[in-house]
Chains A and B, each alone.
Chain A
């Protein structure tokens, strides 16, 4: 079955420290992978995507993600966390369904950055 997993419900880091939010996936074929961020009572904002090419993808707000095919992972990273990065982060993968294609999401990881 096609799926995406975020093993951590919450990640806590201190401001200025590096952060990692984990994501693994299971899809057939080449994966199209995405990271989104959600602030309270808001929609999702696109951060970055991996379609093909360089395994290290750079996105918005200083975030980056590394695609690892052998480990079927796409972890989100940032070298130096900010308090304003505190939010809910979703990993997503494109899948094929009866309607064509759609994105399915992991359960989300709450990132809390302390000052």
Chain B
């Protein structure tokens, strides 16, 4: 299957700092990428849909100023958690679709953010 790479896999930061997470599609071009957040022992919550060359579409309840998403190319989307606080600590997972027809997604390995 298609490969989606996510970096960093783990990051620890101080409260108030900003953290950037990168998501790359390695062997295919992804017009659309998705960012999910997963709390411990819970499901994935869709945060936003990232479209190459345009603004991201955020799900209800997700602060767009807190979670900045940029999709500058067909192979790279970034999520920046701005002014991070301990409650932002979570597992963030990106995904991209190789097939627009089926909706099947390929997932990155996830990034665990811990805000102290």
Contacts and interface: CB of A to CB of B under 8 A. Distances in A.
A58 B22 CA distance: 33
Contact of B43 (A32, A46, A99, A108): A108
Interface residues of B, number: 28
A83 interface: no
Given A90-B43, A103-B34, A107-B42, A43 B6 contact: yes
B107 A45 contact: yes
Contact of A34 (B48, B91, B104, B112): B104
B77 interface: no
B103 A32 contact: yes
A103 B105 contact: yes
Given A102-B46, A108-B41, 8 more contacts: A32-B102, A34-B103, A36-B107, A43-B108, A44-B107, A49-B102, A97-B59, A100-B32
Interface of A: 32, 34, 36, 41-46, 49, 51, 90, 94, 97-108
Interface of B: 1, 4, 6, 32, 34, 41-44, 46, 48-49, 51, 57, 59, 91, 93, 95, 102-110, 112
